[in-house]
Amino acid sequence: MVELLKYFLLVCEERTITGASKRAFVTQPALSGAISRLEEDLGTPLFLRTRGGVTLTAAGEALVPRAKAVMAAIEDARRAVIEVRDIRAGRVRVGGGATACAYYLPPVLAKYRAEYPSVKLLVREGTSESTIEAVEAGELDLGIVSAPRGEYWRDDALILVAAPEVQVKGAPFVTFPPGATVREALDRHFGEVEIVMELSGIASVIEHAAQGIGIALVSRVSVEDALADGTLLEIKDPRTPLVRPLKIVHRGLDRLSPAAAALHKLLLASRTVKRKKHGRPAKTLA
């Protein structure tokens, strides 16, 4: 069954039997036979065959996430057996948003690398939603997200910044595309502003703000140097700072490999204690 599910997922990715058979290094008739056996076992067609390839049936669509979960569980088991013998043989896959990947994770990963130099590290940047989906699918071991679920890790304060020469009143905003958590915060708390740039990278947002293009709502940690040297100034506003808790997500402590569990432990050891800012109380994102 496992082999059949692997072939099924290959066909889903390639959308053709021919393409999937090449990736699987089997003949086209052999792969077609495997798909037929899987359909017979499940008692329903999984694909609709067309001249241009194949498309999933409703049953096939329902099987995709479950097949991925099965393959992820098998990979987890294989890795656990290997890594329990020697953590140095492990691999850890971690994901998070731009702020986490650029500013919060590097010192933790550097310390991890020093302790476990032979463990392979994969870091994937994405939105909180895509990171959670990747963790659930078994594509990532750990994720750092801004979401209601997960273990509290640390607070991330969002502030308004602009170049010194910018006339704040009526100035437009430079921000991230829809779907980013910072963009969601901007739309929720500053919905009336004019947006002139939507940029996917945090460095791009900061650089354009520093060039006087507009105001930016960004994580304080990302502009500490720019604030210190005067390239950017913090704009005082009763709505800021906005505080978003960053959370650690995974599929369960018992499902973490030894290498991933070691990184999880290091993340928890590095987390900061929630504390109030001096002066105006911080606004916490819902």
pLDDT in tens, 87-131: 666 789 999 998 999 999 999 999 999 999 989 999 999 989 999
Distant-in-sequence, close-in-space partners of 94: CB < 8 Å, separation ≥ 6: 105, 109, 121, 122, 123, 124, 140, 141, 142, 143, 144, 263
pLDDT category at 272 given cuts 50, 70, 90 is: low
Query: What local confidence, expressed as pLDDT, does residue 78 receive?
Result: 76
Is the CATH number 3.40.190.10 carried by domain 153-244? yes
* Residue 119 token pair: 């463990």
From-to residues of CATH 3.40.190.10 in the chain: 82-150+246-284, 153-244
The C-alpha angle with vertex 131 and arms to 127 and 134, in degrees rounded to 5, equals 140
Strand 242-249, strand 151-162: pairing: antiparallel
pLDDT category at 282 given cuts 50, 70, 90 is: very low
pLDDT of residue 278 exceeding 80, the answer is no
Question: Using CA atoms, how far apart are residues 268 and 37, in angstroms rounded to an integer?
Answer: 47
pLDDT of residue 273 exceeding 60, the answer is no
Distance of CA 158 to the CA centre of its chain: 19
Mean pLDDT highest for which of 5-14, 79-88, 156-165?
156-165
From-to residues of CATH 1.10.10.10 in the chain: 2-74
Question: Using CA atoms, how far apart are residues 63 and 77, in angstroms rounded to an integer?
Answer: 21
Question: Using CA atoms, how far apart are residues 132 and 139, in angstroms rounded to an integer?
Answer: 10
Question: Using CA atoms, how far apart are residues 223 and 203, in angstroms rounded to an integer?
Answer: 10
Query: What local confidence, expressed as pLDDT, does residue 85 receive?
Result: 56
pLDDT of residue 229 exceeding 90, the answer is yes
Kindly report which listed range (120-134, 143-157, 264-278) carries the lowest average pLDDT score. 264-278
Instruction: Report yes or no: 31 and 21 within 8 Å, Cβ to Cβ.
Output: yes
Tell me the CATH architecture of domain 82-150+246-284: 3-Layer(aba) Sandwich (3.40)
pLDDT category at 284 given cuts 50, 70, 90 is: very low
Note the pTM of the prediction, 2 decimals.
0.66
- DSSP category for residue 238: T
- DSSP category for residue 46: -
Query: What local confidence, expressed as pLDDT, does residue 56 receive?
Result: 93
Tell me the CATH architecture of domain 2-74: Orthogonal Bundle (1.10)
